[in-house]
Every structure is written in structure tokens, then in C-alpha cells.
Amino acid sequence: MTPGHRITVEQGTEHVRVVHDGRVVAESHRPLVLRETGCPVRYYLPAEDVRTELLTVSDTHTYCPFKGTASYWSLPGAQDAVWAYPDPKPDVAAIRNHLCFYDTDVL
């Protein structure tokens, strides 16, 4: 880790819902809550709680030195709206098989 940089991943109990164009794309009561220095709180949802049939694979990949290489998916009219780390770094291994959305509602 870089001095002053911290990432924590905790099991959450929040009710997280993702709605796009009036359609529920994901809904979970078992998100993982990722907190990272300098970044907004992110909710990683189990893949089973995401309507993956609504997602289109993107060619986009980004690299984070703390989490690893991210893969992206798009929704109609929302390019690269969803990402996941298929092979995350050991410190955040819990986020494997979880997807994260830019826009979430915490109920």
C-alpha cells in the first residue's frame, strides 16, 4: 500500500438498488462496501443480484494499483456504467464475482 492510502471491504446490510431508464438492473441486501482514500464509497453487488442479461460487454479495461484490472459493461445509453475486478489483488479479494455501478440508490 501507498502511505496514506487505505482500502477496506466490509459486508454491508444496506438495501442497494440500481435503476436505469425505469428498469431495475440490480438489487441487493448483501452488498460489499468498499471505502478507499480519496474516492466515494462504492457498493459491490453479488453477480447473482444483477440482471446481467441487460449488460453489454465493453472493450474498456482500467488498472488500479490497489485493486487490479477492471472489466466494464454498458447499459443502453450508459457506456461503461458497470465494472468488476475478475482477478482482484489479494487485499480486496472479496470483491471477486461482484459488480459495481456508478449510480446506485441506497434505501
Nearest to 73 by CA among 28, 18, 12: 18
Whole-model pTM: value is 0.94
Query: Is pLDDT above 60 for 34?
Result: yes
CATH superfamily name and code, 7-106: Domain of unknown function (DUF427) (2.170.150.40)
Nearest to 103 by CA among 11, 13, 19: 19
In whole numbers, what is the pLDDT of the chain averaged over residues? 95
Backbone φ and ψ of 49, nearest 5°: -95, 10
Instruction: Render pLDDT for 44-60 as a digit per residue (tens, 0 to 9).
Output: 999 999 999 999 999 99
